[in-house]
Amino acid sequence: MKVVLFHSRGYHLNLESRRINSLACVMPPIGLLSIAAVLRNVGIDVVVLDGALFADVTNNVWAQKISELKPDYVGFTATTAAFNDVCDVCVKLKELNPTIFTVFGGVHASHMSQELIANYQAIDFVIEGEGEQAFLDLICGVKKETIEGLFFRLNKTTVRNKPRTTLVNLDDLPFPAYDLLEGFPKKYVMPLFSYKRFPGVNIVSSRGCIYKCSYCDRSVFGNSFRFNSPAYTIDLMKWLYKDYGVRHFNFYDDLFTLNRQRVVEFCDKLKKSNLKINYNCIVRIGHINRELIKALKKSGCWLISVGIETAEQDLLIKHKNGLSLDKIKSDINLLHDSGLWVKGLFMIGFPGETEDAIIKTRKFALSLPLKEANLTAFTPFGGAPITKDIDKYGVFNGVSDDMDCMNFVFVPKEIKEKKILERNYGLFYKEFYQRLFMFKRVYPRLLLESPHSFYRILKNLGTFIHFANKITGSKITGA
């Protein structure tokens, strides 16, 4: 038995955009790597192909490469923006070898399971939700009708099995198969200025989220929350540190600090391990105090990301589970005063948002001691609570190729045209990174604390300048 697992960047991006994305950040597809590890653990031959590393490779070439490996099954992961790209590879693969079984999973496939089986003949199976056990059962010959979360066709009708309720114990999973990635870890790069030392890698130590933000698609893990033990997580970090030289870790958990006891134990064990590493994590506003910050910092935490989204209190109440602006300010100041780097996560284009509210958010961001910011375009993904009524709130073009959180596919009624959102998007980045705080407190330290990021920028200076000019409307030069 042979299985190929394929991850793609998304073909809607033009070649220029593919290249800037590959230069700015390429991180391993952890979901596929976890499935690969489970399959390999029972003796199945597994190959992982990551299209994100190769901007110039066409879908025809990918289909040919996969076909030449002669797999029995091919698994595809599909975000919404990348779905048409992945499906195109799948269709081309089926044309080359119709006997290969194709399996789709991931967030987009989990929400659209029944529709994909009904409308895409090149897709043989869809796995809704957590994928490790379902994929293993499928290729090991377990009766299809009994596999939780599996969708398939039988006599031209769609069969929908019951949702998966038998969830894996995370500590029972083998470590994700990072070693199956070509060029790991040095071909993979974390976001610029988000790491101290190279190479770095993203890891996951928990699954799920108990909160119900209006814009968040929970089609894979629902509202459950499970986590690895501190011992498991540190053993994973030791393996990556000793065997692959990884020196910086980015925890990709939605709620890294939800279980305080776990985090305190993790920090204590990591400090005692004497691993010479640093790490980043996301902390939810309201889950922060001085004791937690002290534990995180002593164990090597370098950068904390916090979800702020908007400075309009009414929008926070509607879309972000009741955060308050006062609490945001106090928590960020606590983090900043500790010496940790703080990254703010923002969003514009919410249903009900006005241009005045967007300007308010920008000014709020400029007032905070944030050393980095990420701004996304509000995007009504299929499984998000807000999406079912989205047409009530504005104009949604529904083109999945554009749903990458950078394109404004939704324009709220309160905003006259998309150009207003695009202009404010550029202004946010321009004003945030040109404020005096950055020149006095951030840029001088970054050269010392994240030197590899500067190396990447200098090596590809022309490409980065062109991209910055395009986003902000500025006229930056290399002088």
Question: What are the tens digits of pLDDT across the range 362-404?
Answer: 999 999 999 999 999 999 998 899 999 999 999 999 888 888 8
Class of residue 222 by CB neighbours under 10 A (exposed 0-12, middle 13-18, buried 19+): middle
Domain of residue 60, residue span: 2-160
Catalogue the long-range contacts made by 430-439 (C-beta closer than 8 Å, 24 or more residues apart): 430/472, 430/473, 430/474, 431/362, 431/366, 432/362, 432/365, 432/366, 432/370, 432/373, 435/366, 437/369, 438/371
- pLDDT at residue 464 above 70? no
- pLDDT at residue 295 above 70? yes
Examine residue 166 and state whether it is found in any structural domain, yes or no.
no
What is the Cα–Cα distance from 372 to 117, expressed in whole angstroms? 42
State the pLDDT at residue 301: 97
The mean pLDDT of 411-421, rounded to a whole number, is 96
- Confidence class of residue 461 from pLDDT cuts 50, 70 and 90? confident
Examine residue 379 and state whether it is found in any structural domain, yes or no.
yes
- pLDDT at residue 465 above 90? no
Say whether both 33 and 115 belong to one domain. Answer: yes
pTM listed for this prediction: 0.93
Examine residue 178 and state whether it is found in any structural domain, yes or no.
no
Say whether both 11 and 64 belong to one domain. Answer: yes
Provide φ and ψ at 451, rounded to 5°: -65, -30
Question: What are the tens digits of pLDDT across the range 347-361?
Answer: 999 999 999 999 999
What is the Cα–Cα distance from 86 to 175, expressed in whole angstroms? 26
Say whether both 42 and 125 belong to one domain. Answer: yes
* 20 or 357, higher pLDDT: 357
State the pLDDT at residue 474: 55
Say whether both 131 and 202 belong to one domain. Answer: no
Say whether both 228 and 320 belong to one domain. Answer: yes
Mean of the per-residue pLDDT values for the chain?
A: 91
The mean pLDDT of 259-288, rounded to a whole number, is 95
Say whether both 295 and 204 belong to one domain. Answer: yes
State the pLDDT at residue 22: 60
State the pLDDT at residue 462: 74
Domain count across the chain: 2
CATH number of the domain at 405, please.
3.80.30.20
- Confidence class of residue 314 from pLDDT cuts 50, 70 and 90? very high
Q: Which of 437, 438, 433, 414 is CA-nearest to residue 472? A: 433
- For the ranges 28-32, 55-59, 269-273, 343-347, the lowest mean pLDDT is seen at 55-59
The mean pLDDT of 332-353, rounded to a whole number, is 96
CB atoms within 10 A of CB 433: 15
Say whether both 251 and 379 belong to one domain. Answer: yes
CATH number of the domain at 135, please.
3.40.50.280
What percentage of the chain carries pLDDT values higher than 90?
A: 72
